[in-house]
């Protein structure tokens, strides 16, 4: 629901949970990685408070560091299709595989690429340099992923240096 209080409700639940944690438990939430996990990022469980922990994983073409998953077309290929339906179905399929493998947070999709040269970086992950097309298809991708019960963490492929310098002044 647009304009609802979902954000405030989630914030209050998180605040209440963190308020019950010890300092050590709070610090452990920021650890980030685990050698015993195939996750790109890992937030450990706090069993005392029934917090199950979270697995975060990258998603350029699908789930990595595991077996029996699909290789999906890159974002730039989805952008070339101009198809909202394809973007949604790709997101739903990726979200379903991430969910089945125990991933809570998909680190993507990438919004961009934010530059006009094709050299290096994450150009292949982004949907388009056109902000309208990228926005429309990323929104469909996110809806597909989140419809499977997986959180998205949209990434901007690169900010122009001038914006970063201006922001720091």
List the single range of 26-30, 108-112, 135-139, 142-146 with lowest mean pLDDT. 108-112
**pLDDT tens, position by position, 96-109:** 999 999 999 999 89
CA dihedral 8, 152, 165, 116 (to 10 degrees): -140
The residues near 72 (Cβ < 8 Å, ≥ 6 apart) are: 61, 62, 90, 93, 94
Residue 157 has pLDDT above 90, yes or no: no
**pLDDT tens, position by position, 28-71:** 888 777 677 788 888 989 999 999 999 999 877 888 888 889 99
Q: Name the pLDDT band for 1 (thresholds 50, 70, 90).
A: very low
pTM assigned to the model: 0.81
DSSP annotation of 41:
E
């Amino acid at each position: 629901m647009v304009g609802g209080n979902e954000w405030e409700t989630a914030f209050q639940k998180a605040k209440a949970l963190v308020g019950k944690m010890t300092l050590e438990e709070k610090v452990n939430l920021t650890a980030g990685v685990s050698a015993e996990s195939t996750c790109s990022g890992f937030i450990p469980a706090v069993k005392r408070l029934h917090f199950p922990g979270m697995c975060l994983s990258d998603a350029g073409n699908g789930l990595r560091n595991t077996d029996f998953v699909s290789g999906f077309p890159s974002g730039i290929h989805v952008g070339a299709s101009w198809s909202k339906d394809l973007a949604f179905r790709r997101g739903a399929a990726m979200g379903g595989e991430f969910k089945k493998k125990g991933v809570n947070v998909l680190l993507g999709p990438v919004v961009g690429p934010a530059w006009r040269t094709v050299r290096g970086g994450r150009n292949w992950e982004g949907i388009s340099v056109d902000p309208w097309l990228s926005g429309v298809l990323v929104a469909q991708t996110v809806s597909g992923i989140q419809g499977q019960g997986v959180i998205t963490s949209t990434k901007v492929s690169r900010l122009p240096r001038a914006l970063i310098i201006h922001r720091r002044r």
